[in-house]
Amino acid sequence: RTIHLADYRPTDFVLERVDLTFELDPTETKVEARLIFHRREGADLNAPLVLDGDELNMTGLLFDQIEMAPERYTETADSLTIRDLPESVPFEITVTTLINPEANTQLMGLYRSNGIYCTQCEAEGFRRITFFPDRPDVLAVYTVNIIADKDANPLLLSNGNFLGGAGYGPGKHFAAWFDPHPKPSYLFALVAGDLGVVEDTFVTMSEREVALKIYVEHGKEARAAYAMDALKRSMKWDEEVFGREYDLDIFMIVAVSDFNMGAMENKGLNIFNDKYVLADPETATDQDYANIEAIIAHEYFHNWTGNRITCRDWFQLCLKEGLTVYRDHEFSADQRSRAVKRIAEVRHLRSEQFPEDAGPLAHPVRPTKFREINNFYTTTVYEKGSEVTRMIATILGRDGFKKGMDLYFERHDGEAATVEDFVKSFEDANGRDLTQFSLWYHQAGTPQITVSSTYDAGAKTLSLSLEQMVPATPGQTAKEPMHIPLKFALIGENGSEASPAAVSGGEVTGDVLHLTERSQTFVFTGIGARPVVSLNRSFSAPVTLHFAQSKEDLAHIARHDSDLFARWQAITDLALPNLMAAAKAAAAGKAIECDAGLSDALLAIAADETLEAAFRAQALALPSESDIARELGSNNDPDAIYKGRQAILSAIATAGADTFRSLYDSLASGGSFTPDAASAGRRALRNAALGFLALSDKSPAGAAQAFAKADNMTDLAQALTVLAHRFPEAPETHAALAAFESRFASNALVLDKWFAIQATIPGEGSLERVMRLMQNPHFAASNPNRVRSLIGTFAFANATGFNRPDGKAYHFFAEEILAIDKRNPQLAARLLTALRSWRLLEPVRAEQAREALMTIERAAPQLSSDVADIVERILKG
């Protein structure tokens, strides 16, 4: 069944209050929900009350405390309909349900993981707890009572402020929580169990003291220190940059090890995948630290963008997610290096969102229909949604953006809002019409912009012609021209920036050029010498540029642009043609050549100590295999892409042997580990050098020594990766893998890395290795992190292994998807998106992939709606 945005209408009944009582039991938890409603003014007087449910066992139903007559209600598998209700006076419905948290392997609703009761209600999990109007525009104040065995569950938590607790009969106790902020059901949370805690306080800008608590498994408290630090920095930043203050006496985070996603912003009680809470130098990489900082901030920022102002319906998901990702990106940029952060964001956008936008699962940032909302927590809604918010800030400028945000908070606090409300706040605060800009929310597909420039020395003018094209996407064939803000500079000798006397042909504000028509020519006058055009600086718009700039011009940008992102982009643009040519040569069995200009440019950057180390590491990372595949377009042969790329890397390794050796030696960390961005950057550069050194090495000795000497997880994991990928069968590699496994046997998050490193070993033996690893006693099909680290990493990040030409890996994958779907549909559906680009493969592989997808589709009657939705769209689109 497909849900359409156009069908939205408010509920007939207004929910006034919610009182929940949980009697927790691992297999038979009793939930009593007392709900006070009244009929909405103007609603049909005969309209029944329809509540949502999912796999519920209802054992009681009262109307104003009296048992409801059977003829007044109808229960189906997913709804409870109640008739003959009062015209206007409030009434109370009491629903009692029995649920089984242990058996809840979907990890939606109330479930039990490692002895801890916890909940995940977004998007539609609350209906697995009780019958309820489970939609985000139903906001109510909740009181929650929790009763449980005291020994097993000393901790009883829910949203809001703690009201009190006491003993409750033999061996039991209870706790009561009250959340004064009206909220939708998807923000409800409950946690019970026995956990350790790290405590701190934060004094808000109006001098209120907030208790901060992070709950983790006993013994892991020390590993929550960084998360606590990140939380306090997030709270401060949101006050300083967005003027947003926290609004309860207590803010809690609970880390659990079985979780479908990254984390969840439940009001006052965030629940996290422990991967994004726990860190120490011995067990966490620099990337882990950066992720923790970003996700702690993201969930905290949701308190205002998501919770105080929530979404009217799930079509508006980007209203909270795109905006909150933008906020966490800005936070990390302020905490770290802005340019390096931007490069990482763009890399991620290009490798995840661009393929989504170009394939069968493409959808607008604000979709208009869906079959399964879980499948719309996508990189388009999140990351492209963030880019759309960023463009609003670019168009309106810092102050204009701030005015719009302030108006949005002022107007819509306490409401369930829409994307239109959001955009209107910016329009009204700035007196600017954003109608055309709003197409970014409604048109799917990555805009392609073709650019050319000509300089007229006599007239001293520079003409810049741009043409935009938004590709067709499923359900959207014809597209309107978009408003695309492109930051630019005209770079002269030695990096000086020319300022034109005048511009014609379109709007230019400061350093932003506004492309609004299908094709447009901007003419800049008073330009004394031919400049080099640097366009889409800082990646101001999420588009693909087709701008045939000469190698000399790109090199000029790479050397001189004051925008570091643009410098990195120029390096990438220099490298890509070489990598594409290498892939084509490999496919044709021809010799692969590395452009000496490319390796010279890269080695110059690698050795340039005026540049920050993290930036140099990003430059050395070169475009990924998926970047190359995207550039090549179709008929992709992952083996040729891999082989071509490796040959280029090897040529650079040979040319730069001395550079890499001296970088590796000089960047050795003296002293103790700190996770700050500058230190992480030095480790990244040193580890990049290690990777290049190993490419020239004939023996694994160097990498094995790096493994033996590593004194932090970043270095250890990189050394192990280099060993495993470069020397998969060497005794040193087997020894290192075994040592790593036994050293970290009791640390699930580190074991995930061990599985992931092996899942990405390229080439022929990959599938057999993955199948063997599934037999490892540490493999656990019930743990989403573990499944993602082995099967997910293999499918998403091992292009040669997963795409073996005989299709065996696709068929293995299809069987796994069917098995995972039985226990956890959301996890299965997410993994299945790894096949979304199957049509871009060369015909032999594409046919194998199609057959594997058909195997899944044929299981149709048994499929979850999550997997059925994805497989059908992938096959059809």
Q: Which residues bind ligand ARG (CB under 6 A)?
A: 122-123, 261, 263-265, 298-299, 321, 374, 377
Establish whether 612 is a catalytic residue. no
633-658: string of b/e by CB count within 10 Å (b at 16+)?
eeebbbbbbbbbbbbbbebbbebbee
If DSSP codes are grouped into helix, strand and coil, which group holds residue 191? strand
**109 or 702: CB nearest ligand ARG:** 109
Binding partner selected for residue 449 from Zn ion, ligand ARG, none, CB under the kind-specific 5 to 8 Å limit: none
**Triad 454, 458, 463: Cα angle to 5°:** 25
How many C-beta atoms surround the C-beta of residue 202 within 10 A? Answer: 18
Residues 752, 786: contact at Cβ < 8 Å? Answer: yes
Q: Which of ligand ARG, Zn ion, none lies near 389, with the C-beta cut-off 5 to 8 A by kind?
A: none
Decide whether 300 or 408 has the Cβ nearer to ligand ARG: 300
- List the structure tokens of 7: 């069908």
Contact of 164 with 150, CB cutoff 8 Å = no
CB of 873 to ligand ARG, least distance (A): 17
261 binds, among Zn ion, ligand ARG, none (CB under 5 to 8 A by kind): ligand ARG
Q: Which is nearer to ligand ARG, 184 or 500 (CB)?
A: 184
**Residue 866 binding: pick among Zn ion, ligand ARG, none (C-beta 5-8 Å cut-off by kind):** none
Residue 830 Cβ vs ligand ARG, minimum distance, rounded to whole Å: 8
Two structure tokens written together for 148: 């449980």
Rounded Cα–Cα distance for residues 147 and 167 (Å): 9
In the block, tokens 């809690």 appear at 252
Distance of closest approach, residue 457 Cβ to ligand ARG, in angstroms: 53
Task: Tell me how far, at minimum, the Cβ of 111 lies from ligand ARG, in Å.
Answer: 14
Closest contact distance (angstroms) between CB of 381 and Zn ion is 10
Residue with tokens 């970003």: 294
Using Cβ positions, the residue closest to ligand ARG within the complex turns out to be 377
Selected catalytic residue, list 32, 124, 265, 299:
299
For residue 856, the minimal CB distance to ligand ARG (Å) is 20
Residue with tokens 């990106």: 329
Residue 786: how many CA atoms within 13 Å on its side-chain side?
A: 17
Closest CB to ligand ARG among 108 and 138? 108
Name the minimum Å distance from CB 161 to ligand ARG.
22
If the CB atoms of residues 258 and 321 are measured against Zn ion, the closer one turns out to be 321
Binding mask 313-332 for Zn ion (x = CB under 5 A): --------x--x--------
Instruction: Supply the minimum distance, in Å, between the C-beta of residue 383 and ligand ARG.
Output: 12
Structure tokens at 873: 């769209």
Both tokens of 215, joined, read 């709950």
The single-letter DSSP state of residue 834 is: G
Q: How far is the CB of 123 from ligand ARG (least distance, A)?
A: 5
The residue among 302 and 786 lying less far from Zn ion, judged by its C-beta, is 302
DSSP string, 267-290: TTEEEEEGGGT---TTT--HHHHH
Tell me whether residue 192 is exposed, middle or buried, using C-beta atoms within 10 angstroms of its C-beta: 0 to 12, 13 to 18, 19 or more: buried
How far is residue 40's CA from residue 17's CA, in Å, rounded to a whole number? Answer: 15
- Pairing, β 369-370 against β 263-264: unpaired
**Is 551 in contact with 520 (CB distance < 8 Å)?**
no
Number of residues binding to Zn ion, judged by CB under 5 A: 2
- Residue closer to Zn ion, measured from CB, 273 or 324: 324
Name the residue nearer to Zn ion (CB basis): 324 or 443: 324
178 makes contact, choosing from ligand ARG, Zn ion, none, with CB < 5 to 8 Å by partner type, with none
Long-range contacts of 311-314 (CB under 8 A, 24+ apart): 311/136, 311/137, 311/416, 311/417, 311/418, 312/8, 312/136, 312/137, 312/416, 312/417, 312/418, 313/5, 313/8, 313/135, 313/136, 313/137, 314/123, 314/136, 314/370, 314/373, 314/376
CB 827 → ligand ARG: shortest distance, Å? 10
Single out the residue of 677, 681, 748, 689 nearest to residue 719, CA to CA: 689
**Residues whose CB falls within 8 Å of the CB of residue 792, separated by 6 or more in sequence, listed in order:** 830, 831, 834
Quote the CA–CA distance of 60 and 390 in Å, as a whole number.
50
CA distance 863 to 869: 9
Interaction partner, residue 572 (Zn ion, ligand ARG, none; CB < 5-8 Å by kind): none
**Residue 518 CB contacts under 8 Å (≥ 6 apart), including other chains:** 467, 468, 469, 481
Residue 377 binding target from Zn ion, ligand ARG, none, CB below 5 to 8 Å by type: ligand ARG
Report the residue number, 298 or 341, with the smaller CB distance to ligand ARG. 298
**What is the three-class DSSP state of 396?**
helix
The residue assigned the tokens 């609350």 is: 126
- As measured in angstroms, the least distance from the Cβ of 261 to ligand ARG is 4
Q: Which is nearer to ligand ARG, 381 or 767 (CB)?
A: 381
Q: How far is CA 145 from the centre of its chain?
A: 34
Q: Are strands 140-149 and 172-183 parallel, antiparallel or unpaired?
A: antiparallel
The values of phi and psi at residue 642, to 5°, are -65, -50
Q: How many of the other CB atoms lie within 10 Å of CB of 161?
A: 12
Distance CA(198)–CA(483), nearest Å, equals: 48
Query: CB under 5 to 8 A by kind: which of Zn ion, ligand ARG, none does 264 bind?
Result: ligand ARG
**φ/ψ of residue 599, rounded to 5:** -65, -35
Between residues 278 and 317, which has the closer beta carbon with respect to Zn ion?
317
Give 317 or 586: the residue with its C-beta nearer to Zn ion. 317
Beta carbon nearer to ligand ARG, 260 or 783: 260
Using the Cα atoms of residue 294, residue 295, residue 298 and residue 300 in order, give the sign of their dihedral.
negative
Q: How far is the CB of 264 from ligand ARG (least distance, A)?
A: 5
- Binds 91, which of ligand ARG, Zn ion, none (CB < 5 to 8 A, cut-off by type)? none
Q: CB of residue 512 vs Zn ion: minimum separation in angstroms?
A: 28
Which of Zn ion, ligand ARG, none lies near 293, with the C-beta cut-off 5 to 8 A by kind?
none
Catalytic residues: 299
Residues that bind Zn ion (CB under 5 A): 321, 324
